[in-house]
Amino acid sequence: MSSSAPPADRPVFTGLGVLSAFGPGLAPLAAAATRGGTGFAEVTRFDVGRRGTRRAALLADPPPLADAVLGAVADAGRQAELPPGAPLLLALHSDLQTREVARRVSEGAAALGLAGVHRVYTGACVAAATAVADAAVLVGSGRYPRVVVAAGHLVEPGVFAAFDAGRALARDGALRPFSAGRSGTLLGDAAVAVVVEAADAAAARGARPLARLAGWGRSGDAHHVCRPRPDGAGVARAVRSALARAGVVPAGVDYVNANGTGSPMSDLAEARALREVFGAALATLPVSSSKSVHGHALEASALLELAVTIGALGGGGLPVNAGWLGPDPEVELHLVLPEGRTDDRTDDRTDDRTEDSAEGRTEDRGENSAGGRAADLPGTRPRCALSLNSAFGGANTALLVAAA
């Protein structure tokens, strides 16, 4: 049972900044996600000659990590017309550079008018979602009118080699969430920031919310160091907590941006969790993992996927589940597939970076509104969407966002 406490003041998002393999801004990322044009290419940033997998979704010429994060923070602050003094919650990978990057981000944030870094989250793939949930509690309780949450991860040789040695990376160089033949994940660059603001505070200053953070939930599997609990019970508890906090029934969810790393075990556990929560309604609930397009950004992944999910609320179309080869009979999800894809394995062209996305150009969103098997989908403008993440240690998070 969850005793998820609804906040006194509902949080909303009033600013969003993102840098992904598709360049700066939400528009090129959202366009790639709805079209299924993935950002994966051969890694040239460092030597991958001894690695089993050699692909990732990387920026061609990334700035230093602290600068990338500060760029996203500046963009989010500009969009929100952010008043001074907001604290910054920062998600970073735990490594030999963490403290120095945090120090540089804190200095840069102060120069942007923020109160500096309030806390650094290092909890792997749920780090940024944990920070968003904490931000919601902080503004919901009235402690701060607004909090900035930022995260950054640029793929480096050590992490790449460790994931490769752990056989976590897709051997065929394609990230295929929930698909038959999936063999692992692929890494991606990202720096993302959001402004989480109390709805009343936003209204008082005339700020227009991008979306509402309707609910959030956190849970642990209590199962294993790195394997997910096979029945997905931990994920299901996080989802139920988010729904309860929002006062939303499962039927009120229009789209799920799943964790979907492409891992054979993890994807299956997540599918079982969704079955547990949504039951028969899962047959018509659109699900995809946008990781299939932008890659797995580790500590920044939850914020990157939240950005994609907020973009979907804007009506540009649902993010597709790229890399799909065919159904896994144990998964049984209503996946949002790239336009024209069917249940055959004859057309696997989704793992090539397209010219448009590589150049970061904005797509005509009208062309993408039929993304996925549109005829089967209830609509391409969800009103309420879940973004899910899971991590080592059995950590699970669920963020429920709703149209403002």
Partner 1 sequence: MSPLRTLAAAHWPPGEPPPPLPGFAASIFNPLVAAVAERCLAAHYGEPGAPGAPSGPGESGESGEPRRTGLLLASAGGDRATALAIDTAAAGHRMPPLLFFQSNPNAVLGHVAARWQLTGPVVAISPLEAAAPGELPPDALESAALLLADGDADQVLVITAELAERTERPAGEPGAAGGTGHATAVLVTAG
User: Please, what is the minimum distance in Å from the beta carbon of residue 7 to partner 1?
Assistant: 9
Q: Which backbone phi and psi does 13 adopt, to 5 degrees? A: -100, 125
**Residues of span 42-61 touching partner 1 by CB under 8 A:** 50
User: Please, what is the minimum distance in Å from the beta carbon of residue 266 to partner 1?
Assistant: 13
Exposed e or buried b per residue across 105-127, where buried means at least 16 C-beta atoms within 10 angstroms of its C-beta: bbebbeebebbbbbebbebbbbb
The rounded distance, in Å, linking the Cα atoms of 128 and 109 is 17
The rounded distance, in Å, linking the Cα atoms of 99 and 377 is 45
DSSP H helices, 41-119, are 65-80, 98-111
User: Please, what is the minimum distance in Å from the beta carbon of residue 394 to partner 1?
Assistant: 5
Residue 314 or 393 with smaller CB distance to partner 1? 393
Residue 74 or 117 with smaller CB distance to partner 1? 117
Q: Which backbone phi and psi does 20 adopt, to 5 degrees? A: -130, -175
Which residue is it, tokens 């062209």? 349
- Give the count of beta carbons closer than 10 Å to the beta carbon of residue 24: 18
Single-letter amino acid code for the residue at 278: F
User: Please, what is the minimum distance in Å from the beta carbon of residue 167 to partner 1?
Assistant: 7
The rounded distance, in Å, linking the Cα atoms of 246 and 398 is 12
Helix H or strand E segment including 356: helix 355-358
Among 74, 124, 155, 187, binds partner 1 (CB under 8 A): 124
User: Please, what is the minimum distance in Å from the beta carbon of residue 122 to partner 1?
Assistant: 5
The answer to the question of residue 232 lying near partner 1 (CB under 8 A) is: no
User: Please, what is the minimum distance in Å from the beta carbon of residue 121 to partner 1?
Assistant: 6
Residue 7 or 28 with smaller CB distance to partner 1? 7
Q: Which backbone phi and psi does 112 adopt, to 5 degrees? A: -85, 0
Residue 189 or 221 with smaller CB distance to partner 1? 221
Among 158, 247, 315, 378, binds partner 1 (CB under 8 A): 158
* Segment interacting with partner 1 (CB under 8 A) among 145-153, 193-201, 338-346, 386-394: 386-394
**Residues of span 82-121 touching partner 1 by CB under 8 A:** 92-96, 98-99, 102, 117, 119-121
Spatial CA neighbour of 32 closest among 288, 375, 345: 288
Beta carbons of 299 and 268 less than 8 angstroms apart: no
- Paired strand residues for 272: none
User: Please, what is the minimum distance in Å from the beta carbon of residue 117 to partner 1?
Assistant: 7
Angle of helix 233-246 relative to helix 264-278, nearest 10 degrees, comes to: 40
In this structure, what DSSP letter does residue 183 have? -
Among 160, 255, 278, 324, binds partner 1 (CB under 8 A): 160
Single-letter amino acid code for the residue at 303: L
Residue 98 or 362 with smaller CB distance to partner 1? 98
Binding mask 339-378 for partner 1 (x = CB under 8 A): ----------------------------------------
* Segment interacting with partner 1 (CB under 8 A) among 65-73, 181-189, 233-241, 310-318: 233-241
Task: Provide the binding-site residues for partner 1, judged by CB under 8 A.
Answer: 2-5, 50, 92-96, 98-99, 102, 117, 119-124, 126-127, 130, 133-134, 137-138, 141, 143, 157-168, 217-226, 234, 237, 241, 245, 391-395
